[in-house]
Amino acid sequence: MRKNQIKTRKENAMPIQDLIGKEIPPFEFPIERGKIKEFADAIGDDNPIYRHPEYARKTPLGGIIAPPTFTRTQVFWRPGPSNFEIAGLDRRFVLHGAEEYEYFQPIFAGDILTCTTKITEAYEKEGKRGGKMIFVVFESTFHNQRGEKVLISKSTTIQTGGVVKN
């Protein structure tokens, strides 16, 4: 490798297609009322169902719920190496490509979710300004403490081949 060439995958990394089906160890993700409020504040959503217990109890849902996309904060709860590291991606060149959510039930303050994640897609494409790009789709399934599936999220991560050129 030339001195000025950027290496973005480990030499001993498995072929990108071999990532498909790889499972990431499950972990528990507690849904805390204070964190729900902080998240709602951060996204600028002042809906009282995210912060006021008395109001939330009177709604058809009957309690404080997590806003859509709140489960993205699971990256702060998962122990061990990050999804990027597990996939052999170089964080310096990683971009967020897409995020999808399929909800089955509301997520309530006080729930303890178990998150299981697997890689469902992995492929390469030639880029126009940053070299070869690697796309990895992580699919996470969340079950609450009663074993009920509440959400499936899909996150597409893109690693560029290096610094993007103008």
pLDDT of residue 165: 67
Q: What is the dihedral of CA 83, 94, 136, 10, to 10 degrees?
A: -70
What the block records as the tokens of 19 is 């990532």
- The token pair that represents 62 in the structure block: 């009957």
Q: What is the DSSP string of 98-125?
A: EEEEEESS--BTT-EEEEEEEEEEEEEE
Q: What is the pLDDT of residue 4?
A: 38
**How far apart are alpha carbons 93 and 87 in whole angstroms?**
13
Digit-by-digit pLDDT tens for the chain (166 residues) are 433 334 444 444 668 888 999 999 999 999 999 999 999 999 999 999 999 999 999 999 999 999 999 999 888 888 888 888 889 999 899 999 999 999 999 999 999 999 999 999 999 998 877 678 999 999 999 999 999 999 999 999 999 887 766 6
Q: What domains sit in the chain, N to C, each tagged with a CATH number? A: 16-32+66-159 (3.10.129.10)
Q: Are 116 and 68 in contact (CB under 8 A)?
A: no
Q: Which helix (H) or strand (E) holds 39?
A: helix 33-43
Which amino acid makes up residue 14? M
- According to DSSP, the residues that pair with 108 across neighbouring strands are 65
Q: What pLDDT score was predicted for residue 14?
A: 65
- Indicate yes or no: pTM above 0.75: yes
Alpha-carbon span 135 to 89, nearest angstrom: 10
pLDDT, position 13? 60
Nearest 5°: the CA angle 116, 21, 86 is: 70
How much is the pLDDT for 127?
A: 81
Q: What is the per-residue pLDDT for 6?
A: 41
